[in-house]
Amino acid sequence: MGHDSDALTKYRRKRDFRRTPEPSGGRGKQRNAASARFVVQLHDASTLHFDFRLEAEGVLKSWAVRKGPSADPSDKRLAMPTEDHPLDYRDFEGVVPPGQYGSGTVIVWDQGTYTNMSEHDGEPVPVTEALAEGHMSFALHGKKLHGAYALTRFREGEDEAWLLVKRADRRRHSRRGHRPDPAPSRLRSVLTGRTLKQVAAGEGSRDRPTRRAGRRRQAGRR
Ligand code: MN
């Protein structure tokens, strides 16, 4: 359909790939919906925020969530839509150089798969439709994030804005309780175990550090 290359025009237009280490984004392969992926990156840009990304339509649909996802269903987190990112952005961890769009350090804070749970009158709703309608329910299967969440658009147009909210899900709720959000400086990459500061300092970086470390970790845990 050529859909995904069109979807990435905005992403590519904002970046100079001779200067930023971010992926320029090949064509994304459509994967089956049962194993769609998500990533949450912590991005120490002009304003520190989390980037929440869900695989859909061959790209990563993206929202900037200043305070990050909450495990507390009563916390509504503002999620501002940003441009679609290429699928291989999922593993991007590093430093976007000064002067470049989104300059600052990025770590992969969480990663995993999600299950679309969107429905309307008891009928399942495909992801594309759910996003177009402005309400999507899904279950995250990450290393840090688990359980049901919902994204709901509450404002359209140029100021389009969404809310990311944990949905009450009895088991998790009672077992884990809700801890306050830890300081971002203490958060670590789920791929390499590094903090923002360590990534900024280039510690533990190799040729393709995130991918290798990520594979090793997954292999060891599953
Ligand atoms: Mn960002």
Nearest to 87 by CA among 43, 136, 38: 38
Give the C-alpha separation, 187 to 185, whole Å.
6
Q: What is the pTM of this model?
A: 0.84
Distance from residue 93's CA to the centre of ligand 1 (Å): 12
Contact 114, 193 (CB under 8 A): no
Whether 1 has a pLDDT exceeding 90, the answer reads: no
Distance from residue 64's CA to the centre of ligand 1 (Å): 6
Give the C-alpha separation, 119 to 186, whole Å.
37
* pLDDT per position as a tens digit, 55-107: 999 999 999 999 999 999 999 999 999 999 999 999 999 999 999 999 999 99
Distance from residue 186's CA to the centre of ligand 1 (Å): 18
Q: What is residue 32's predicted lDDT score, i.e. its pLDDT?
A: 55
* pLDDT per position as a tens digit, 114-138: 999 999 999 999 999 999 999 999 9
The token duo for 113 is 């798969």
Contact 170, 161 (CB under 8 A): no
Give the C-alpha separation, 131 to 167, whole Å.
17
Whether 214 has a pLDDT exceeding 80, the answer reads: no
Distance from residue 51's CA to the centre of ligand 1 (Å): 5
Whether 216 has a pLDDT exceeding 50, the answer reads: no
Whole-number Cα distances in Å, 96 to 113, 166, 200:
26, 30, 10
The token duo for 19 is 């200067």
